[in-house]
Amino acid sequence: METYSNSSSIRVLHVEDNLAYARLVKESIKDFSTSRILLWHCTKLADAYTLLEKERMDVVLLDLSLPDSLGLSSVETLHNRFPEVALIVLTGTRHEELGIQALQLGAQDYLVKDNCGGDMLVKSIFYACERQRIDTKIRDQALTDGLTGLPNRAHFMGYLKNALSRASRLHSNITLLYLDFDGFKQINDTFGHLEGDTFLIEAANRIKSCIRQSDFCARLGGDEFAIVADASEFDFEFSIPLADKVLAAMRETFYTRGGIELAVSCSVGCAIYQGRNNHIGIDRFIQSADEAMYRAKYDGGDCYCLYDEHFAKESLRSSKMLIQLRSALKKTQFHLEFQPIINTQTGVISAVETLLRWTDNEGNIVPPTEFIPYLEKNQMIRTVGEWVLKEACTQFKAQFGNLKRIPQLTINVSPLQLKDPTFIRCVADCLEDAGFDSSWLVLEITENVLLNDIDQMMSALNELVDMGVLIAIDDFGTGYSSMKYLMDIPAEILKIDRTFVEDLSSSKSHQLITKGMIRLAHALGKSVVVEGVETKDVARALTLMGADFLQGFYFSHPVSLDGLKDTLTINHAVG
Ligand code: C2E
Ligand code: CA
Ligand code: CA
């Protein structure tokens, strides 16, 4: 262990207005120590501050009755301003309680002048130095991230608090950048935690290389980092140069130690604190940067997003929506509509798709594309999804259960539901409770479901198929699934997204692509539903292209099941 006995000189400042005592201390130190103690002296606390700003000191010997400061307040202010300097209090009278208070305020030792010989003083200086060194080390460890060596979250919070109060005082601007990596989890999952750690260390080094010495960066945990920087010269309405610099550094390819390229990108959220007219608290400021970071992620990642007022309104809207959605089930604000799917060969309704509807507190019907992402963000989709499943099966059984020819019921399933280990059980229970034949049920999943946890998703889908439930791939053509997954996925039905249909009559390439997708599905042994059919011409064209089923406003808008009952036997053939 390193101690002061084998290191360089100890620099001591004696703050004492009694010149005779100051001289005595100087003599005693000279008598009892080697040349390793270097001594400075001043008579006022203000002079001590000036000197400490300029010179590094290891120890301050502090008298408690100075011309410009009396009592323990000198200890407190000195320790707060220069926490790295060891303090030894020297007083004229013995006062145990005062001594304890001095230690509590940050002093390392408390000595009474008359009882303190030279040997004792020198020993106290050595011990104080050593204790201070240990204290500093412990404090540093508590404030440092063990892996990257960067300051940790606790240090970040302390630093940011001081930075904000300084900015308010000086009317300067501070920017806070929140960084989060896209794809970090895959590094851990694919290459193991050691590679994950190597990546984080490299990321930390790159962040450090982007910032100035006066800036501050920290690892907040996991793959989350933060930078606090002076933003006074940024033209932040247009760009945050620091964010650009960080993103550029992160775009350089990362490699594993074995030289394999890693697919990661970085999302950055920026918030600006304007000292002149900004008095939001630290928590709100951090939340702003965090929200901006999520927005950058939502925009696809590998970009930064600046928190702004418009965005603040959006997030207010989002939190209001969440509060309403939380109670929507209890208030029975959800209901279901059903849209028929027509068999092009027979012209009859072969299935109905269940579509969720929400009427909010003001009585507005909110489209599912607007509120489902919020349900997913909050995991509420599991509860609501379960309600949809039960409600649809029950209604369907009641309306159509006694018919001779029963159409199929299709239900949209969010990837988050499929990921939930209790989902399969929930489907099984629901089928049993409603007395519902599993072959009547089709679950629609989007092809993007396979982007994460392929094995888990595949095994969930296979279990469903084993139960007799059919799987349809929804919105086909808009996602990213590879041909391999398309072959492996146990889906019988492919639903071609309506974006291909919108321009079918005017766009030759849309016709070719749609025809190609129908052929591909047939080659893979799957049947094809085309969505978004709004006109007879389109219906006819798709029938000629070989589509097996059609769905869209041309046949029917989504309606209640009751409204569909009478149309079940009608022939919708388009000729
Ligand atoms: P989707 O699964 O692609 O559903 C079809 C959407 O297309 C429905 O919109 C339907 O009203 C609309 N549509 C049907 N025919 C036509 C047409 O001819 N022209 C046009 N322009 N649109 C047509 P909706 O009801 O707004 O649903 C939007 C999306 O919300 C659905 O897209 C589905 O992804 C999601 N969704 C709806 N209900 C649920 C649910 O219960 N659970 C989950 N997870 N998602 C749901
Ligand atoms: Ca669907
Ligand atoms: Ca669809």
Q: What is the DSSP string of 12-26?
A: EEEE-S-HHHHHHHH
In sequence order, the β-bridge partners of residue 91 are 112
Which ligand approaches the C-alpha of residue 495 most closely? 3
Ligand 3 mean position, distance from CA 481 (Å): 15
Ligand closest to Cα of 497 equals 3
Tell me how far the alpha carbon of residue 331 lies from the centroid of ligand 2, in angstroms. 25
Name the closest-CA residue to atom 10, ligand 1: 558
Strand (E) or helix (H) holding 342? strand 334-343
Nearest CA, atom 12, ligand 1? 532
For residue 339, the ligand 1 atom closest to its alpha carbon is 14
Give the distance (Å) from ligand 2 centre to CA of residue 494.
Answer: 11
Q: What does each C-alpha distance from 254 to 72, 198, 209, 248, 407 come to in angstroms?
A: 54, 10, 15, 12, 53
Q: Measured between alpha carbons, how far is 411 from 392 in angstroms, rounded to an integer?
A: 8
Pocket residue to mutate for ligand 1, from 337, 355, 409, most atoms within 8 A of Cβ: 355
Q: In terms of Cα–Cα distance, which of 301, 209, 289 is closest to 249?
A: 209
- Residue of the nearest CA to atom 22 in ligand 1? 532
* Minimal-distance CA residue to ligand 1 atom 46: 412
Would you state the pLDDT for residue 479? Answer: 76
Rounded to the nearest angstrom, the distance between the alpha carbon of 348 and the centre of ligand 1 is 21
Going from the C-alpha of 184 to that of each of 423, 514, 526, the distances in angstroms are: 27, 36, 36
- Distance CA(15)–CA(41), nearest Å, equals 6
Residue 84 DSSP one-character state: T
Domains of the chain, residue spans: 2-142, 153-307, 332-567
Distance 454 CA to ligand 2 centre (A): 21
302 CB-near residues (< 8 Å, 6+ apart): 182, 247, 251, 265, 266, 267
Distance 549 CA to ligand 3 centre (A): 13
Our mutation pick for probing the ligand 1 site, out of 412, 446, 505, counting the most ligand atoms within 8 A of Cβ, is 412
List ligand 1's pocket residues with C-beta within 6 A: 339, 354-356, 367-369, 372, 385, 388, 412-414, 474-475, 498, 531-534, 551-553, 558
CATH of 153-307, one of 3.90.1150.200, 3.30.70.270, 3.40.50.300, 1.20.58.340: 3.30.70.270
Nearest CA residue ID for atom 3, ligand 1: 475
Read off the DSSP letter of residue 410: E
Distance 359 CA to ligand 1 centre (A): 16
CATH fold of 2-142: Rossmann fold (3.40.50)
CA 495 to ligand 3 centroid distance, Å: 7
C-alpha 353 to ligand 1 mean position (Å) = 9
CA nearest ligand 1 atom 17, residue: 532
Secondary-structure class of domain 332-567 per CATH: alpha beta
Angle value at C-alpha 172, between 168 and 177, nearest 5 degrees: 95
pLDDT tens-place values along the chain, 575 residues long: 333 344 578 999 999 999 999 999 998 888 776 668 899 999 999 999 999 989 999 999 999 889 998 888 889 889 988 988 999 999 887 777 888 899 999 999 999 887 777 888 999 999 999 999 998 888 888 999 999 999 999 999 999 998 998 888 888 889 999 999 988 999 999 999 999 999 999 999 999 999 998 899 999 999 999 999 988 766 555 567 899 999 999 999 999 999 999 989 999 999 988 888 777 889 989 999 998 998 898 888 899 998 876 666 776 777 788 889 999 988 899 999 999 999 999 999 999 999 999 999 989 999 999 999 889 887 899 999 999 999 999 999 999 988 888 999 999 999 989 989 999 999 999 999 999 999 999 999 988 777 777 888 899 999 999 999 999 999 988 877 677 778 889 999 999 999 999 888 888 999 999 999 999 999 999 999 999 999 999 999 999 999 999 999 999 999 999 888 888 888 888 86
Q: Ligand 1 pocket test: which of 442, 531, 536 has the largest number of ligand atoms within 8 Å of its C-beta?
A: 531
At 422, is the secondary structure helix, strand, or coil? coil
Q: Which atom of ligand 1 is nearest to the CA of 414?
A: 44
Confidence at residue 61, expressed as pLDDT on a 0 to 100 scale? 96
How far, CA to CA in Å, does 367 sit from each of 33, 358, 363? 82, 7, 13
Instruction: Give the separation between CA 42 and CA 51, rounded to whole angstroms.
Output: 9
Residue by residue, what is the 3-state secondary structure of 519-565? HHHHHCCCEEEECCCCCHHHHHHHHHHCCCEECCCCCCCCECHHHHH
Q: How far is the CA of 531 from the centre of ligand 1 (A)?
A: 9
Q: In angstroms, rounded to a whole number, what is the distance separating the alpha carbons of residues 200 and 178?
A: 15
Residues in the chain: 575
Distance between first and last Cα of the chain: 92
**Atom 24 of ligand 1, nearest CA residue:** 368
CB atoms within 10 A of CB 330: 7
